[in-house]
């Protein structure tokens, strides 16, 4: 049967703002049941009210998920599996970029912890549900910023070395996005694409809150009005995610990198199967309770 998103259940992380919020609305407009994650319930309620009003689709709701706390990710997975008997699409969208070294509840470097490890664990939690709902899709929002990463530093995945400032924060972010892409590659290799496909994508340079909440990013506020004029709106930035979730032509397509709603060529470091397998093993050890 040809893939159609109408009536399918999508779970998206980070639906309160930016690309995630725009993706929630676009998917609701196409008739999907959308569950998104929010850390602030008031913000989640406001997005639900706006999206229901804009689309007329009442099958929109939010659940709390803190990707910087692996025990909470495990709890979220257990509660989700209890509540829902089906999950057709998982969109790993939430992300952060920081200019200082912070730690997650588990003591991991925060950017790597949220962007990669939290989502790695989330997929582990929900994979049985996705497999039981086949054909299903996992869509991972990565970034062209992976091109700034020379590779993963397996001796320092937690970025403990060197001074952590704006430049280091960007390189840590770039590596976390490369980790998203290597995660995509290894997960796709492990799964039957007839059952669950896994792809990642670059949304474009998008005018969102990303990297602008942090104390250390005040400097960027000075140049933000100048550069942001050339950025996409969140609605434009959501297009490749929506395409990856909805397009029937992507049935069976797995392990790819998308940009501008098409398959794109990533940097070679994102195609490194040895690094992908090594990251998988390291991540399994790091998320172990
Ligand atoms: N903007 C760009 O130009 C761009 C370019 C390439 C890739 N991307 C990627 O696109 C994705 C979305 O980014 P965006 O630009 O839309 O950013 P954004 O506006 O800052 O939104 C980030 C989302 O992630 C959620 N989030 C942050 N920390 C979290 C945590 N610890 N636990 C759970 N959720 C958390 C936020 O929820 P709260 O409201 O609870 O904080 C928010 O909903 C990210 O993966 C980013 O790397 C963005």
- The mean pLDDT value for 227-248 works out to 92
- pLDDT band for position 210 (cuts 50, 70, 90): confident
Ligand 1 geometric centre to CA of 228 (Å): 17
Residue 31 has, within 13 A of its CA and on its CB side, a CA count of: 6
**Does the CB atom of residue 18 touch ligand 1 within 6 A?**
yes
Of the residues 11, 13, 20, which should be mutated to test ligand 1's pocket, given the most ligand atoms within 8 Å of the CB? 20
165: pLDDT strictly greater than 90: no
- pLDDT band for position 22 (cuts 50, 70, 90): very high
Residue 171 has, within 13 A of its CA and on its CB side, a CA count of: 17
Residue 207: the pLDDT is 87
Ligand 1 geometric centre to CA of 39 (Å): 12
Is the alpha carbon torsion for 289, 131, 22, 243 positive or negative?
A: positive
**Mean pLDDT, the chain, integer:** 94
Residue 214: the pLDDT is 60
Q: Which residue would you say has higher pLDDT here, 174 or 210?
A: 174
Share of the chain above pLDDT 70, in %: 94
Phi, psi (degrees; rounded to nearest 5) at 38: -145, 140
Tokens of 139: 């869509």
Helix/strand/coil (H/E/C) assignment for every residue in the chain: CCCCCCCCEEEECCCCCHHHHHHHHHHHHCCCEEEEEECCHHHHHHHHHHHHHHHCCCCEEEEECCCCCHHHHHHHHHHHHHHCCCCCEEEECCCCCCCCCCECCCCCEHHHHHHHHHHHHHHHHHHHHHHHCCCEEEEEECCHHHHHCCCCCCCCCCCCCCCCCHHHHHHHHHHHHHHHHHHHHHHHHHCCCCCEEEEEEECCCECCCCCCCCHHHHHHHHHHHHHHHHCECHHHHCHHHHHHHHCHHHCCCCCCEEECCEEECCCHHHHCHHHHHHHHHHHHHHHCC
In a domain, 146, yes or no: yes
- The mean pLDDT value for 213-219 works out to 54
Contacts of 249 (CB under 8 A, 6+ apart): none
Q: What CATH number corresponds to the domain at position 159?
A: 3.40.50.720
In a domain, 4, yes or no: no
Of the residues 11, 18, 22, 147, which should be mutated to test ligand 1's pocket, given the most ligand atoms within 8 Å of the CB? 18
Residues 247 and 17: their CA atoms lie apart, in Å, by: 24
Which CA distances in Å does 157 have to 3, 96, 122, 164, 226?
A: 38, 16, 19, 14, 34
pLDDT digit string (tens) for 50-87? 999 999 999 999 999 999 999 999 999 999 999 999 99
pLDDT digit string (tens) for 269-289? 999 999 999 999 999 999 999
Of the residues 11, 12, 13, 14, which should be mutated to test ligand 1's pocket, given the most ligand atoms within 8 Å of the CB? 14
In a domain, 205, yes or no: yes
| Residue whose CA lies nearest to ligand 1 atom number 8 | 143
In a domain, 3, yes or no: no
pLDDT digit string (tens) for 35-57? 999 999 999 999 999 999 999 99
**Does the CB atom of residue 143 touch ligand 1 within 6 A?**
yes
Ligand 1 geometric centre to CA of 1 (Å): 34
In a domain, 1, yes or no: no
- The mean pLDDT value for 120-125 works out to 98
Q: Which residue would you say has higher pLDDT here, 222 or 197?
A: 197
In a domain, 231, yes or no: yes
- pLDDT band for position 182 (cuts 50, 70, 90): very high
Which CA distances in Å does 149 have to 117, 157, 170, 177, 280?
A: 18, 13, 9, 9, 18
Q: Answer whether 199's CB lies under 8 Å from 247's CB.
A: no
Confirm whether 173 is a catalytic residue: yes
Phi, psi (degrees; rounded to nearest 5) at 201: -155, 160
Domain count, the chain: 1
Structural domain containing residue 281:
9-287
Of the residues 36, 173, 243, 280, only one is catalytic, namely: 173
186: pLDDT strictly greater than 90: yes
16-30, 99-113, 198-212: range with lowest mean pLDDT: 198-212
In a domain, 89, yes or no: yes
| Residue whose CA lies nearest to ligand 1 atom number 45 | 95
Q: Answer whether 79's CB lies under 8 Å from 93's CB.
A: no
171-185, 200-214, 228-242: range with lowest mean pLDDT: 200-214
Radius of gyration of the chain (CA): 18
pLDDT digit string (tens) for 146-161? 999 999 999 999 999 9
In a domain, 235, yes or no: yes
């Amino acid at each position: 049967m040809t893939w159609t998103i109408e009536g399918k259940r999508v779970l998206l992380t980070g639906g309160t703002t930016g690309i995630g919020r725009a993706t929630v609305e676009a998917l609701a407009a196409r008739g999907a049941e959308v569950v998104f994650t929010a850390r602030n319930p008031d913000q989640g309620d406001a997005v639900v009210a706006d999206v229901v009003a804009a689309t007329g689709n009442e099958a929109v709701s939010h659940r709390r998920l803190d990707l910087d706390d692996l025990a909470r990710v495990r709890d979220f997975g257990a509660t989700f599996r209890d509540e829902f008997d089906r999950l057709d699409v998982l969109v790993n969208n939430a992300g952060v970029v920081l200019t200082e070294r912070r730690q997650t509840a588990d003591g991991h470097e925060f950017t790597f912890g949220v962007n990669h490890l939290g989502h790695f664990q989330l997929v582990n939690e929900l994979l049985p549900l996705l497999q039981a709902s086949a054909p299903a899709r996992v869509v991972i929002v990565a970034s062209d910023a992976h091109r700034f990463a020379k590779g993963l530093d397996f001796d320092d995945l937690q970025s403990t070395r060197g001074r952590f400032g704006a430049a280091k924060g960007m390189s840590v972010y770039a590596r976390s996005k490369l980790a998203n892409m290597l995660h995509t590659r290894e997960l796709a290799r492990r799964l039957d694409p007839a059952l669950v496909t896994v792809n990642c994508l670059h949304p474009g340079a998008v005018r969102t809150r990303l990297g602008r909440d942090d104390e250390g990013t005040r400097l960027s506020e000075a140049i933000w009005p100048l550069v942001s004029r050339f950025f996409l709106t969140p609605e434009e930035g959501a297009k490749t995610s929506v395409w990856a979730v909805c397009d029937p032509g992507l049935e069976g397509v797995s392990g790819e990198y998308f940009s501008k709603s098409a398959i794109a060529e990533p940097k070679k470091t994102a195609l490194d199967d040895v690094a992908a397998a090594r990251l998988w093993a390291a991540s399994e050890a790091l998320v172990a309770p």
